[in-house]
Each structure stands twice: as structure tokens, then as C-alpha cells.
Structure 1
Amino acid sequence: MNKRLAIITTHPIQYNAPWFALLHQRGKVDIKVFYTWPQAVEGFDDPDFGKNIQWDIPLLKGYPYSFVKNVSVHPSSKTWKGIDNPTLIDEVTQFEPNAILVFGWKFKSHFALMRHFKGKIPVWFRGDSTLLDYDIKGLKDIATRNNLTSHLSFLSSFKLYLKYRLRQTALRLVYRYVDKALYVGTNSRHYFMAHGLTNEQLVLAPHAIDNQRFTYSIEVDYEMEAIKWRKELGISENDTVVLFAGKLEHKKNPLLLLNTIRELNQSGNSTIKLIFSGSGPLEAELKTIAGRDNNIRFISFINQRRMPVAYRLATIFCLPSQGPEETWGLGVNEALASGRPVLVSDKVGCAADVVHASIGSIFSSGNASDLKAKLMELAKENITPHACQQHITSWSFEKICNVIEKEMT
């Protein structure tokens, strides 16, 4: 008889549902997914995108699941009280799992479940938080007054240090209720270790996307569709095109990318086309700055089925994030699976693991000169689609399933 794994998560997500289905189909572990925010199944309002999000790929096929009643007055995955499921513990108990995998602890019912089952059956946790938003060396300098120029500077900086240490103490208390953490990459591992988990508790289950869906389709010729789309946008086959795909928000720093490419083009040394795919709070400002610049295009929000084509509009995919909390950047995985080299800032969580010189480059966050230099260097490289696609194969849903199956034995 197979062992049973209960998976606790808020709502169906395009990056998780496919490997839930794969894990079930492989038949080595019996799973059941408990969704704690059932109201989101029909779509949810995303304040950053500024619209109701309904993904156009199936997220509830191929695996057992149930919707757990959420009685919150304001159901949401953004707040502690937004996930309130009085029957969750009882429903999970009835499933009789051998282990529980929890996505996210910052919810009333998720945390209550972790506390309830700790010491009874193994509690696993899946998260991708990092320490990239904290200058650890700088914080140590604060504690010892190193490199601080005045008493006022010390007082201000010490508040930051104290805030970090209080947060660290609180998170150590939270992670006492975790037996194992399925970390997603190097920066995620450092985060868990900083909050009290040991080597023996940490298991790499790499962040991944549906590589096959972005690499190839028997129904659509992605490359030909991209060529047609580029023509519609007035972009020639020989143009160098940089693509930004994601929320147009402060943490992803699209303004830096826009201003840098405009400066490059105005210098007369190059002509680079820039495409923004997405929407968000910075959209109006970006469009105002771009004005009638013929080298800048906006194609708004693109749903999942069309994204493999959208990535192929580009010569280079760029994620210039400055944080906070750019914990991974799964668009990087998608771009590579689509055969496109990547340029990311060092504040992007996946940079330490995924971005190598053979398929991309890393620049210093917020540094326009470094972004400019790395962009020009990468544009001259002859990186093939095959090299990008082969590189990302080691970050796959199959790897996640292998890890879980091994840990369940």
C-alpha cells in the first residue's frame, strides 16, 4: 500500500498543479491536495495586475483534491485572517496521511495545522523565501558600529538591525513546527538555515515550470507564431529585442530597464527594441516615459497558453528586479525553456542556481552601467535556443516528484 501525502495550499497555481498531477500519475505516492481558498478557483482580483486573473490552462485535472470551506470575511492569500478553515485539521485527519506538505505558514489555518500535527506525523514545508533583501554583512557592521559616520546614522541603522533580529527570532519559532523543508535553490537553503533548520532537515526540490509546454507543442509552431507577431509589432527578424514579462511593479524595476535601453539607443551605438508584457501599477508611468518611442512596445497581460510565443518575441529576456522578495523569478525558467538567453539582477532568487555564462548573465541590481554593459555583451553572444533549453532541463517537475517519492519511503 502506498503512503499518503496531504498537500495544503491556498489555490490552484500554474507552477504547482502540473506536478501534483504528475506525482499522482506516477502512482508511487497517494496524494490529496487541500485547497484552503476555494473562492479563488473562479478567478481572483490581483491588485498588481489590476484585473481579475483566470488562467487559461487546466489546473484541477489529473489529481485528487478537495476545497476546504474558508469562512473568512475577506478571503485572500495576502493576509493572516484571509485563510480561515475551521474544518481543515479534521479533513486532513480523515485522509490519514503519512506526511503533510504545507505551502505557506502566514495563514491562520495553515499555521494552526502545522502546530496541531507537529510531533504526530511529519510536517513538511515548501517555501522560496531568501535573505537577498538583507545585507547580512552590513547588518553585522551595524551591530559593531563599523562604517557608520555619525551617532544619528548608528541609531537609524540599529533600528534596521533590531528589526532583522526580531524577525529572525520570530521565524525560528515558526520553523520549530517544521520537520523538513523542501527548499527550491541555494538562496532558499541559506534562508532556512538562518532560521534554525539543519542540514538534515533540508531537501532540494528545485523550483520548476512545465518545461515541455514551453519548449515544444504539436499544435502550435511557436517560432512561426512569434515571427508573425513580431511583424505585427513592426519588429524585423534582425532586430535585437529585449523582453520584460511580468508585473509592472516597483520590485521588478522595469523603469531601470526602460531608461537604460533608451539611453543606449540615444547614444547611437545601437538600436534595441524593448517589449513590456504585463500590467501593473507602473504601467502608466512607463508609457508616459516611453511616449512615442518607436523602439518600445507594450503588449499588456498575456495568459499562459500564449506565453511560449511571447518569450520567442525576444532575443534576450531581462528581469531587472531590485526586490523586495523577488524570491525566484520563474519567468527565467520559462524564458530558458522557450530557448531564450536571460539577463537578471543579483536580487533575483534564481540567479545563483540557474543563470550561468553559457546561457545568460547577471548584473548588479540598480546599477544602470552594469546592466548596460552586460546587455551589450549578451547581445553579441551566439547562444542557441537548444543550449538554453538543455540547461533548464535539470530544473524539472520530475525532480520534485523524485524527491517526494524518496522522502516518503
Structure 2
Amino acid sequence: MRKGKVRLAYLVSHPIQYQAPLLRHIAREPDIDLTVFFGSDFSVKEYKDEGFGGVGVRWDIPLLEGYRHEFLPVIRDHAKVTPFLPLNHGIARRLKGYAGQPGFDALWVHGYASLNSLHAMIAAKALGIPVLVRSDSWLGDRERSGVTLAAKQLFFRVLKQMVDGVLSAGTLNSEYWRHYFGEDFPIFFMPYAVDNEYFRRRTLEASQHRESLRKELNLSPDRPVILFASKLQNRKKADDLLNAYQLLSPASGVEPHPYLVIVGDGEQREQLERMAKETGFDSIRFCGFRNQSELPGFFDLATVFVLPSRHEPWGLIVNEVMNAARAVVVSDEVGCQRDLITDGVEGAVFRAGDVNGLADALRRTLATPETAIEMGRRAQERIDFWNFDEDIRSLRRALAALTKKIAE
């Protein structure tokens, strides 16, 4: 078969703010004809995000510009993502080609455990279309019973028959696929990346307004800033951060030298604010939900960023803040840690749930102003590789191997 343009279908539940820039990059490739199929449009409108405690969210960056897309006909859509939602029909017809449109050469599916994903993979297999799957799962992401693990092994034996290759997000994700699909299964390393250029540019722009944000938050410029920015959910463990922060106090009743700035909203907010009030400290700030374009301002303000999560699949916020050249402290259960953060180099790593370990990680990172600055410099150097160009190279390798229609 001669080399030529590959018609690639990409199926995903809904427009996702992290993915839109990558999809625009792929759409510019001259020999990849990309069409994105969405199950729901809830994220392009204002919606209630349960992860942010039901706060109304409307993303302030373009989610649909710069690539061809289509919303599939809806059977059921409750403006949230579960294994059963959204539920759509029509993907088989589109993969085959209809209304004068040619069929597709390959299907790329985001995730594998939803009815929509399984339906699409079964349809592609029936049509002889190779299937690529991408997810951020890893083996240690949560505890399961023996019965559940046995059922999962059986599920993956079936799934393996429907998938021709996987796009690996990182080291732990590769280990996951090798565990379930075997050492010889085609795995194409496609680093989990964000729009590095965007976050570097926006952080640089934000630095010009640093004093304004400091004034808004009533922060003194001579004190370092510990930043947490994520959903205030139990698994994100902002409560561990608050407890560790209290351990930074030099004496009973004396507030720590660094500020603690918490950006985000969610189920834990009331509990966290109560905990903060009980400390008696005047150095903790709650900033609520902030949109994508606002985050670089907080990255610029930070001395160190902390993500103390349990069972975090990846943590793309870490990619974002590394582009701002900031030190990062993460737990060993943050999926990106193995690839992005080496203890003592780009920041510090502690055992998830170990409050004393987290406090020690903060002390080491903030030992001197130069320590955090040097860690931030190394963080920015390391994140250079985790970019969209690498993603596209990996996608091209996968398409070349599975379709024989495109050059690597």
C-alpha cells in the first residue's frame, strides 16, 4: 500500500481543556486527516463540576477551534463522565463512511472502560480498522479485591483482542499495559504533555502583574509561597498539606515563614477552611476555583508547588507548573512522579500519607531561596521533552506500524 494521508478517527467523551491544543497540532500534520468524535458537549458550556464542589465551570480557552470535530447522536447524556455516560450511537456508520465521506484508516480511543469506547472498538474490529488506546492508568492506582482483580484480568484478555496498539502516557502506564497485554504487545510511548509554550508565555506575562496579585492576596514579597492548585477532593490530600504546613511552625503558636496558598474548590473546602482557622495562622489563603488562564499567575507567585495526592493517575498540573520553572513536591502516588520529579533534583518526593515526610520535603525544598530556584530551573529543563512534538512523533510511529500508509 502506498504512503499517503491517514484518515484518523479520535473518540473521546467530551472536549477536554488539556487535549484541545494537541488536537490542533495533529490537525496541522499534512498526512494525518483527523476527525474528533465527542460523546457530549457539556464542557463547552457552563456546567456544574462535582469535583469542584458543584461550582459552575466555563473554560476560558478555546476547546473546539482548529480541528475537525463532530458530536455523536446522543442516547443518554447527564453532563458527566461515567462508564455508562455519555452514551451515543452512530460511530460504526461514521467509521465505515457515509454520505459521500470515505471510511477511516485507524481509530484512536481515549480510555477503554466506557460503553462508548467498547462500542467503537467492536465496530472498528468488525470493519478491519486498527485500534489505538490511550489512558493514564497504572497498577498502583487503587486497592481492589481478589474477585475484582480476577474479573479485570478476564476483561483485559477480551480487550486485547480488540486493540492493536496502545499509546503510553509514561513509565507507570507502560508497566500497566505490559502487565495486562504482555511484553510483546505494541506500545508507543506518547508522553503525557501540556501546551508548554502556552504556559511559559502566560507565566512570563503574569510576572508583570505579580505585585497586583500579591496585593489581592495580601502577601509580603519577602516570604516564600507554597502553592496547592487542584480540586479539593479527599484523594488530593490538601488536608495532609495543611497538617504538614503546621509542622513548619518554628514554635507553638508561631505561624510558619512561608505562606500557604490554596487554589481550587470541592468537597473538602469547608473542612480545610475550618482546619486553617483552628491553626490561628494568618498565613493561609483560599482562592477558590480559578480558570485555566488565571493559573499561570499563581505559578509565577509560587516558590514551590505541592501535589500530595493518593492514587493520582498522572497530575497534568505538575507539567504546567514545571513550565513556570518552579520546584515541585509530590507524593509517590502521583503518576507523573516517576517520569518528572526526582527527589532532590526538580523538587522533592515523599511517601503518600506521610505528613512528617511532606513537612521534611518542604523544608528541604525551601532550605534556601537558591535551592528552590535551582530545582525550578531543572524542572523546566526536564519538562522540555514532554511536549506535543514528541506526542505527534509517537502517533506517527503508531500509525506507520498499524496502517502502513504514513511515513514515521
- TM-score where L is the length of structure 2: 0.88
Matches within 5 A, 1:66-85: 66-72=70-76, 74=78, 76-80=80-84, 82-85=85-88
Matched, 1:190 2:175: yes
Name structure 2 gaps, 5 residues minimum: 400-405
Among residues 187, 198, 201, which one is paired with 2:186 in the alignment? 201
Task: Render the CA deviation track for 1:228-271: whole Å, top value 9, x for unaligned.
Answer: 21232121222121110000011110000001102322635952
Q: Work out the CA distance in 1 between the residues paired with 2:327 and 2:245.
A: 17
Residues 99 and 121, structure 1, Cα contact 8 Å, conserved in 2 = yes
Q: Work out the CA distance in 1 between the residues paired with 2:363 and 2:238.
A: 18
Among residues 358, 363, 366, which one is paired with 1:376 in the alignment? 363
Q: Work out the CA distance in 2 between the residues paired with 1:92 and 1:38.
A: 20
Matches within 5 A, 1:269-284: 270-284=256-270
| Paired letter, 1:35 | F
Residues 28 and 405, structure 1, Cα contact 8 Å, conserved in 2 = no
Q: Work out the CA distance in 1 between the residues paired with 2:16 and 2:322.
A: 20
| Paired letter, 2:37 | F
Residues 77 and 86, structure 2, Cα contact 8 Å, conserved in 1 = no
In the alignment, which residue of structure 1 is the partner of 2:154?
169
Among residues 321, 345, 353, which one is paired with 2:339 in the alignment? 353
In the alignment, which residue of structure 1 is the partner of 2:32?
29
In the alignment, which residue of structure 2 is the partner of 1:334?
320
Among residues 72, 85, 91, which one is paired with 2:94 in the alignment? 91
Q: Work out the CA distance in 1 between the residues paired with 2:385 and 2:71.
A: 33
Q: Work out the CA distance in 1 between the residues paired with 2:340 and 2:161.
A: 30
Q: Work out the CA distance in 1 between the residues paired with 2:89 and 2:168.
A: 29
Matches within 5 A, 1:126-141: 126-133=134-141
Task: Render the CA deviation track for 1:205-248: whole Å, top value 9, x for unaligned.
Answer: 00001111111149x72213233212321212221211100000
Alpha-carbon shift at residue 117 of structure 1 (Å): 1.4
Matched, 1:179 2:164: yes
Q: Work out the CA distance in 2 between the residues paired with 1:168 and 1:329.
A: 26
In the alignment, which residue of structure 2 is the partner of 1:6?
9
Q: Work out the CA distance in 2 between the residues paired with 1:170 and 1:379.
A: 46
Does the residue aligned with 1:182 lie in a helix, a strand or coil? strand
Q: Work out the CA distance in 2 between the residues paired with 1:134 and 1:168.
A: 15
In the alignment, which residue of structure 2 is the partner of 1:155?
none
How many residues align structurally?
382
Among residues 240, 252, 256, which one is paired with 1:256 in the alignment? 240
Alpha-carbon shift at residue 73 of structure 1 (Å): 5.7
Distance 1:110 1:163, change over 3 A: closer
| Paired letter, 2:191 | P
Residues 241 and 315, structure 1, Cα contact 8 Å, conserved in 2 = yes
Distance 1:124 1:400, change over 3 A: same
| Paired letter, 2:10 | I
Task: Identify which range, 181-190 or 286-295, moves more after superposition.
Answer: 286-295
Alpha-carbon shift at residue 197 of structure 1 (Å): 4.3
| Paired letter, 2:275 | I
Matched, 1:231 2:231: no
| Paired letter, 1:99 | A
Q: Work out the CA distance in 1 between the residues paired with 2:275 and 2:45.
A: 36
Q: Which 4+ runs in 1 deviate beyond 6 A? A: none
Task: Identify which range, 383-392 or 277-286, moves more after superposition.
Answer: 383-392
Among residues 60, 63, 77, which one is paired with 1:59 in the alignment? 63
In the alignment, which residue of structure 2 is the partner of 1:108?
115
Q: Work out the CA distance in 1 between the residues paired with 2:70 and 2:55.
A: 26
Name structure 1 gaps, 5 residues minimum: 136-158
| Paired letter, 1:112 | H
Does the residue aligned with 1:216 lie in a helix, a strand or coil? helix
Does the residue aligned with 2:247 lie in a helix, a strand or coil? helix
Q: Percent of counterpart pairs with the same letter?
A: 30
Among residues 113, 137, 145, which one is paired with 1:160 in the alignment? 145
Task: Render the CA deviation track for 1:106-137: whole Å, top value 9, x for unaligned.
Answer: 322221110121261110001001112357xx
Q: Work out the CA distance in 2 between the residues paired with 1:288 and 1:169.
A: 46
Alpha-carbon shift at residue 36 of structure 1 (Å): 1.3
Distance 1:198 1:100, change over 3 A: farther
Distance 1:189 1:358, change over 3 A: same
Q: Work out the CA distance in 2 between the residues paired with 1:161 and 1:110.
A: 26
Does the residue aligned with 2:96 lie in a helix, a strand or coil? helix
Q: Work out the CA distance in 2 between the residues paired with 1:373 and 1:30.
A: 50
Does the residue aligned with 2:260 lie in a helix, a strand or coil? strand
Alpha-carbon shift at residue 28 of structure 1 (Å): 2.8
Does the residue aligned with 2:87 lie in a helix, a strand or coil? coil
Distance 1:194 1:279, change over 3 A: same
Alpha-carbon shift at residue 64 of structure 1 (Å): 0.8
In the alignment, which residue of structure 2 is the partner of 1:313?
301
Task: Render the CA deviation track for 1:76-123: whole Å, top value 9, x for unaligned.
Answer: 31241x222221211222151111000122322221110121261110
Distance 1:106 1:160, change over 3 A: closer
Residues 38 and 70, structure 1, Cα contact 8 Å, conserved in 2 = no
